[in-house]
């Protein structure tokens, strides 16, 4: 007789010897190794001593001796949270079985059960277990080889960034992080802080573009009571809040010239002057800054101070866009799949090969943020275990319509295609011409000229961008 290949090690817990004999016989004939136990404490002991994690599945009567089924599941999950549990139950205890599944059991079998039902339930449970194991192995491998804190990347460009972060983390040097929106600039700033000697001190982040100019000075440096309308009490600024730690100034390129001069004084003197006060206050803060603007071009236009640029740009870290680190796309997608499956308490998921190929084809003008949002949406919406290409469509119908909608002549001219594509990229970047120009590999002046030369009905669609 041909030997059935080994498929897994199953622990069967039941006081009824007839059940042991029946279940063990069915499972053994189908290639499983079975250990039969009668006492709950014996099952817990076996799991506790199973340092090699050889037990793949537990099949237990719902009326486990010495404790109720919910407590048993809880103890098993504390020892082996990934191991599936199948409960055997009589008709009268089906409500208990449903409650147990809500507490973490994988499935239940009604007694008396049929052989195909047992095999099907076991195969489903072990398939689930293998997927969980694969995700754990992948997560451990990613963390060991290709991850810095929560930042993932195996491309040479990202490995170079990781190396630089580790070198500068234990210094107090000012760092300027550049890159398009969605490339992970704030995460890099946090990694610098958390891997340095100031990790236990505050990390304070502020988006300079999100706060009106009139309030930004107060936010950064603080203010005295009555210094302006609405200042009902004195308040510390974020530089003082971050004292001893790190302040991260995001979108520094959008700061006004007047405030740039005051920030320069802070960098030079290590002191801040709250709004409405004449006394400077000493600070001990590491400054990290980020921008998606080309600051050298802004200096040429008189929009950014050259002296401030060189004060900030002691150490420069440039975050590559996702289109320049395509070997990271699948790794990032798998990382986000595991992350959001856990967050939303879903069953383990995987990508089909066509889905992965689809992700690799995309332009990703929104960079990692766009990829992450897409994966989270798919995890929440997709009902199946395997994510398909159709589950990973980001505004695809709208994007196709942009390029397929006929013109007045019935065909699109090269100029019309160009204008529509420029509009598409502007939409993706939220109307930011600087970023759109970077993606299109043209300067802003060329971008403006192309839009100005576009047909009136096309130009009007992007006139506000």
- Checking if the pLDDT of 430 tops 70, the result is no
CA 88 to CA 112: how far, in whole Å?
A: 9
| Closest CA relative to residue 17, chosen from 30, 36, 33 | 36
Angle between helices 444-453 and 433-440 (to 10 degrees): 90
From the CB of residue 411, how many other CB atoms can be counted at a distance below 10 Å? 8
Stretch(es) of the chain classified as CATH 3.40.50.300: 148-320
pLDDT of residue 462: 47
pLDDT of residue 159: 92
- Checking if the pLDDT of 465 tops 60, the result is no
pLDDT of residue 455: 57
pLDDT of residue 464: 40
* Range 361-380 average pLDDT: 90
pLDDT of residue 463: 40
* Range 24-52 average pLDDT: 89
Residue 411 pLDDT level (bands cut at 50, 70, 90): low
Q: Could you tell me which CATH number the domain at 400-461 has? A: 1.10.10
Q: Which fold has domain 148-320?
A: Rossmann fold (3.40.50)
Residue 167 pLDDT level (bands cut at 50, 70, 90): very high
* Range 212-218 average pLDDT: 86
* The CATH number, out of the four listed (2.120.10.30, 1.10.8.60, 1.10.3720.10, 2.60.40.10), of the domain defined by the range 323-394: 1.10.8.60
**CA distances, 199 to each of 164, 314, 334, 404 (Å):** 17, 21, 28, 52
- Kindly report the backbone phi and psi dihedral angles of residue 350, in degrees, each rounded to the nearest multiple of 5, phi listed first: -150, 165
CA 390 to CA 145: how far, in whole Å?
A: 31
Coil vs helix vs strand at 58: strand
From the CB of residue 197, how many other CB atoms can be counted at a distance below 10 Å? 11
Tens digit of each residue's pLDDT (9 = 90 or more) over 216-269 = 989 999 888 877 777 778 888 899 999 999 999 999 999 999 999 999 999 999
Question: DSSP H helical segments within 146-212, as ranges?
Answer: 156-169, 185-194
Global confidence as pTM? 0.61
Question: DSSP H helical segments within 204-325, as ranges?
Answer: 213-221, 238-241, 257-269, 295-300, 306-312
**Of 187 and 146, the one with more pLDDT:** 187
Tens digit of each residue's pLDDT (9 = 90 or more) over 305-355 = 999 999 999 999 999 999 899 999 998 998 899 888 888 877 778 888 889
CA 254 to CA 412: how far, in whole Å?
A: 38
Stretch(es) of the chain classified as CATH 3.40.50.2300: 8-142
Q: Of 94-108, 165-179, 208-222, where does the model show the most confidence?
A: 165-179
Stretch(es) of the chain classified as CATH 1.10.10: 400-461
Q: Which fold has domain 8-142?
A: Rossmann fold (3.40.50)
- Checking if the pLDDT of 135 tops 80, the result is no
List, as one string, the DSSP characters of 92-144: GGHHHHHHHHHTT--EEEESSPPHHHHHHHHHHHHHHHHHHHHHHHHHHHHHH
């Amino acid at each position: 007789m041909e030997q059935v290949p080994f498929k897994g090690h199953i622990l069967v817990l039941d006081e009824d010897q007839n059940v042991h004999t029946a279940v063990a016989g069915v499972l053994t004939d189908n290639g499983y190794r079975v250990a039969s136990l009668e006492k709950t404490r014996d099952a817990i002991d076996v799991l506790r001593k199973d340092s090699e994690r050889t037990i793949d599945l537990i099949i237990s009567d719902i009326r486990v001796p010495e404790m109720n089924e919910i407590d048993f599941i809880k103890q098993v999950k504390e020892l082996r949270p990934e191991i599936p549990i199948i409960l055997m139950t009589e008709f009268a205890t089906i409500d208990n079985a449903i409650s147990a599944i809500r507490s973490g059991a994988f499935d239940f079998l009604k007694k008396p059960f049929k052989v195909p039902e047992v095999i099907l339930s076991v195969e489903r449970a072990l398939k689930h277990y293998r997927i969980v194991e694969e995700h754990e192995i992948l997560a451990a491998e990613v963390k060991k080889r290709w991850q810095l804190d929560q930042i993932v990347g195996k491309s040479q460009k990202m490995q170079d960034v990781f190396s630089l972060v580790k070198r500068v983390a234990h210094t107090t040097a000012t760092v300027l992080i550049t890159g398009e929106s969605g490339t992970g600039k704030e995460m890099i700033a946090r990694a610098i802080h958390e891997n340095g000697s100031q990790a236990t001190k505050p990390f304070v982040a502020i988006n300079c573009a999100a706060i009106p100019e009139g309030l930004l000075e107060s936010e950064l440096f603080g203010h005295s009571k009555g210094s302006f309308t609405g200042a009902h009490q004195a308040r510390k600024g974020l530089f003082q809040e971050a004292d001893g730690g790190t302040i991260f100034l995001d979108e520094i390129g959008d700061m006004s010239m007047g405030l740039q001069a005051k920030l320069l004084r802070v960098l030079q003197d290590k002191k801040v002057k709250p709004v409405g006060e004449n006394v400077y206050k000493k600070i001990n803060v590491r400054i990290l800054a980020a921008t998606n603007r080309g600051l050298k071009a802004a200096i040429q236009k008189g929009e950014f101070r050259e002296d401030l640029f060189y004060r900030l740009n002691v150490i420069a870290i440039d975050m590559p866009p996702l289109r320049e680190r395509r070997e990271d796309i699948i790794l990032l997608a798998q990382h986000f799949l595991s992350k959001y499956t856990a967050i939303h308490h879903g069953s383990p998921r995987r990508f089909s090969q066509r889905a992965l190929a689809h992700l690799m084809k995309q332009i990703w003008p929104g960079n990692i943020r766009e990829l992450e949002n897409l994966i989270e949406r798919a995890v929440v919406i997709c009902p199946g275990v395997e994510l398909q290409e159709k589950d990973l469509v980001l505004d695809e119908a709208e994007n196709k319509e942009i390029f397929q909608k006929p013109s007045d002549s019935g065909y699109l001219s090269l100029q019309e295609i160009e204008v529509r594509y420029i509009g598409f990229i502007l939409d993706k970047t939220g109307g930011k011409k600087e970023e759109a120009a970077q993606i299109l590999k043209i300067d802003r002046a060329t971008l403006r000229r192309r839009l100005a030369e576009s047909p009136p009905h096309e130009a009007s669609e992007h006139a506000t961008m």
